[in-house]
Structure 1
Amino acid sequence: MARQLARGMGSFFKDCSCVKPARCPHRYTIRFRDALGKQREERGFTSQDDAIERLSQLYAEKKATAPSVAEARRELGQQTIREYSETWLPRQRRMAEYSTKENVLSSLNVHINPALGSRKLNSVTQTVVEQFLDDLEVNGVGRGNQVSIFRGLKSILLDAHEKGGIPSNPVKGVQGPEYVRDRVSIPTLGYIEKALSVAHEDLALEITMMVGCGLRNGEARAVNLNNIVADDVYRVHEQIHARLNRPAKLKHRKVGEFREIHLPRAVREAMEKFTERHAATSEGYLLRGPSGYYTQGMEHYRVQKLFKQLPPEEGVGMYSFRHFFASNALSNGMPITDVAEWMDHKSIEETYRTYRHLMPGSITKAARILDAGLWDAA
């Protein structure tokens, strides 16, 4: 049974059939009208005092809201998610233009708008968001894509919430999908040596940059003599973008930002030998194509030809050559913090999750050490 408070404050109750609800373990629910005049509920309050305190807070916020502000929020809340996202996306000036924005736009067009686009902002609740995530899972959307889709939806809804279009935080308490990366496949040194001997010379240099310096494909396609800033230092500041087929800023970084990595002697010599056969462009690029740059399409064609001629080891793909760099560094005792920086991971957690089994302090090695210590103590 709901207990009504002062006029306009709302009520609280337990949604159960217990004989003595005041003493049962079930939690309280509060019911109130928000600043837009729409009835809302919040659950999970452990005591009457907690429920009353929250209702008092909500009532004070509503009373402090000027009528003009409340009306503006009411009008905003009448917009649909599709309408709001059309004005929200152009405002994201800090969002990467050629990758993140494209990903969000794809998520909107393929998943978010078909399912939620016609829903008004003020009708979005945690239950709506959770049902949307459940539907993604049922429809077989990959876990990695689920993470990306939820990230975009969450950003849109939180922005609308901060501007008052959604009174209650619609993603508070929502458990988002978690992407668990499959164990990476790493080519053996023997396979790499064979691949370098039979691959097209452009592809061979790209593979060398990935194996020796840990570059991403696009960064390796942009290999440049001018990036050698010392005998053993290579500066990475751009990539050949996969869709634009021209130089672009690095992933996770702003225009003009760069990272510097150790340049092994063997890699530098490979660049020098390539230059002896093919002079670099006036801008210093070693790899090139009909459009002026060595594109993803050119890389893909040569990778297919290589793997047909030299079938790859199980699970190995082009990106596996970058994984070899991490494997080589970590297995030889390089600090994971350095490896994360060289590979330009967004966080060290990404490096740890991906390459944990390669670290010298892996669980297997730790078990052997601890076991030996126990026997010695005995």
Structure 2
Amino acid sequence: MGQETRTLATQLIRGMGSFFKLCACSRQSRCPHPYTIRYRDATGRQVEETGYSTQPDAVEQLAKIYTEKRDIPRQQADLKRQIAKQRFGEYASSWLARQRHYAPSSVRSVNQVLNSQVLPTLESRRMNSFTSTVVEDFIMSMEERSVGLDAQQNAFDTLKKILLDARRRGGITDDPFDGVIPPEYIPRKITIPTLDEIHHLKEVSSDELRVIIDLMSGCGHRNGEAYAANLERMVADDVYRITEQIDGTTRQRARLKHRKPGEFRETPMPSTVRESLLRYEQGHGADLNGYLLRPQRSPYWAHTTLEYQWSAAKKRASITRKFTTYSLRHFFASNCLSRGIPVTDVAEWMGHKNINMTFKIYRHLMPASIGRAAKLLNEGL
């Protein structure tokens, strides 16, 4: 067979496209090679597809595509074309503005990832030019700049959300992540405070910090969620409902991370935590809405307040091991998993968006899971 060449395309009605064969056969109507069709999609981009065994098959597919395009409302088609021509930086900005379920802290985090990793490389690129090769080149550029794997994964996840949103709205035709291997961040080994260390910290802490330590180590709260400690959230003797957080930078109430406004999650509340909250309320009272932690100079706690009191408490307790307040959440997870509580429940209580991250971080805390499974299976046999 001779070298394949593109034969003259058969043009159909205006806007419908054309069909042809990529072969050098003298009688193409009878040769076994497939037909290729060429058309423009709703965004105006030229597309070629091959694999049609007969001419009627090719014409039928072109007619179907033409009918679908014709039936698309003009406003929708115009929007697709507009998105396709937009620069990434402009689209990313409009995308973030539409994420109304993001808490202010999440918006700041996304902006930081965009400004530090994504926009310097991709800001001026048109949306319809994104392909899997472009995404792979972006990952390679981060590797060449020795960007840490955790930052690589955050940048990749942010880029993926934005591009798949543009594809869903018709601005990108093909999946730009098809075949792309994402960077995989393996969390480093975590430091878990011991129960003795927690007790020593509570002995030398302020009453306010003691409440935060109890909520984080006993119920799995995040820092900002503990700042919002509230008697009204004790919905049962052994259940605490987390409905909001205090933004540690702005000192304002905010929705939960990975939750829409009004959504909440519930966690088991050990009796020691319940008694801690009630004891604080008896000694210091609560405001009219049930909030416990009320600094003198501002309505709510902030990260700076926590950092100062935490450092002072560690020093007074003579604790030299390097762990932060967030390590108290690791203690909560360890306490749960070491007692056989399923990781799915732990992920829900801790407010993780994806159970895969919970599993990666805490997999090693599951006590002899493979050995235990082997024994259970053996009993079944």
How does the TM-score come out when normalised to structure 1?
Answer: 0.78
Q: Residue 9 of structure 1 contacts residue 56 of structure 1 at CA under 8 Å; is this kept in 2?
A: no
| Gap regions ≥5 residues in structure 2 | 12-17, 24-31
Residue 354 of structure 1 pairs with residue 379 of structure 2: no
Residue 224 of structure 1 pairs with residue 230 of structure 2: yes
Look up the match of 1:90. 97
Offset at residue 342 of structure 1 (A): 2.2
Look up the match of 1:128. 134
Q: Residue 246 of structure 2 contacts residue 253 of structure 2 at CA under 8 Å; is this kept in 1?
A: yes
User: Which amino acid is 1:120 matched to?
Assistant: R
Offset at residue 237 of structure 1 (A): 1.2
- Cα-to-partner distance string for 1:146-169 (whole Å, 9 max, x where unaligned): 233223322332333344433333
Look up the match of 1:345. 352
Look up the match of 2:65. 61
Q: Find the aligned partners of 2:58 and 2:312 in 1 and give their Cα distance.
A: 65
SS at match of 1:229: strand
Residue 197 of structure 1 pairs with residue 224 of structure 2: no
SS at match of 2:146: coil
Task: Give the direction of change, closer, same or farther, for the CA distance of 1:48–1:211 in structure 2 (3 Å limit).
Answer: same
Offset at residue 291 of structure 1 (A): 0.7
Offset at residue 32 of structure 1 (A): 5.3
User: Which amino acid is 1:327 matched to?
Assistant: S
Residue 334 of structure 1 pairs with residue 338 of structure 2: no
Offset at residue 117 of structure 1 (A): 1.4
SS at match of 2:137: helix
Q: Residue 19 of structure 2 contacts residue 58 of structure 2 at CA under 8 Å; is this kept in 1?
A: no
- Cα-to-partner distance string for 1:116-173 (whole Å, 9 max, x where unaligned): 1112223222211110121122223332332332233223323333444333332333
SS at match of 1:129: helix
| Gap regions ≥5 residues in structure 1 | 14-21, 23-27
Q: Find the aligned partners of 1:98 and 1:9 in 2 and give their Cα distance.
A: 52
Look up the match of 2:241. 235
Kindly report which structure 2 residues correspond to 1:1-378, keeping only aligned pairs within 5 A, or say none.
1-4=4-7, 6=10, 8-9=18-19, 34-35=40-41, 38=45, 61=65, 64-66=68-70, 73-93=80-100, 95-289=101-295, 290-310=297-317, 312=319, 314=321, 316-363=323-370, 365=372, 369=375
Offset at residue 253 of structure 1 (A): 1.8
Provide the aligned C-alpha RMSD in A.
3.7
Moved more, 349-358 or 65-74: 65-74
Offset at residue 97 of structure 1 (A): 3.9
Offset at residue 204 of structure 1 (A): 2.0
Q: Find the aligned partners of 2:293 and 2:83 in 1 and give their Cα distance.
A: 51
Q: Residue 84 of structure 2 contacts residue 128 of structure 2 at CA under 8 Å; is this kept in 1?
A: yes
- Cα-to-partner distance string for 1:245-297 (whole Å, 9 max, x where unaligned): 12222222222222233322222222232233322223222212211112221
Offset at residue 353 of structure 1 (A): 2.7
User: Which amino acid is 2:309 matched to?
Assistant: R
Moved more, 72-81 or 283-292: 72-81
Moved more, 328-337 or 54-63: 54-63
Task: Give the direction of change, closer, same or farther, for the CA distance of 1:256–1:136 in structure 2 (3 Å limit).
Answer: same
Aligned-residue sequence identity (percent) comes to 41
Q: Find the aligned partners of 1:165 and 1:97 in 2 and give their Cα distance.
A: 27
- Cα-to-partner distance string for 1:204-247 (whole Å, 9 max, x where unaligned): 22111111112111111111122222332222211111222122
Moved more, 32-41 or 156-165: 32-41
SS at match of 1:65: helix
- Paired residues, what number? 355
Moved more, 99-108 or 184-193: 99-108
Q: Find the aligned partners of 2:376 and 2:5 in 1 and give their Cα distance.
A: 59
Offset at residue 194 of structure 1 (A): 1.2
Q: Find the aligned partners of 1:313 and 1:333 in 2 and give their Cα distance.
A: 31
Q: Residue 77 of structure 1 contacts residue 120 of structure 1 at CA under 8 Å; is this kept in 2?
A: yes
Q: Find the aligned partners of 1:12 and 1:155 in 2 and give their Cα distance.
A: 38
Q: Find the aligned partners of 1:62 and 1:99 in 2 and give their Cα distance.
A: 46
Q: Find the aligned partners of 2:60 and 2:181 in 1 and give their Cα distance.
A: 28
Q: Find the aligned partners of 1:254 and 1:75 in 2 and give their Cα distance.
A: 29
Offset at residue 39 of structure 1 (A): 5.5
Task: Give the direction of change, closer, same or farther, for the CA distance of 1:65–1:291 in structure 2 (3 Å limit).
Answer: same
Task: Give the direction of change, closer, same or farther, for the CA distance of 1:330–1:71 in structure 2 (3 Å limit).
Answer: closer
Offset at residue 174 of structure 1 (A): 2.3
Task: Give the direction of change, closer, same or farther, for the CA distance of 1:145–1:332 in structure 2 (3 Å limit).
Answer: same
Q: Find the aligned partners of 1:313 and 1:370 in 2 and give their Cα distance.
A: 42
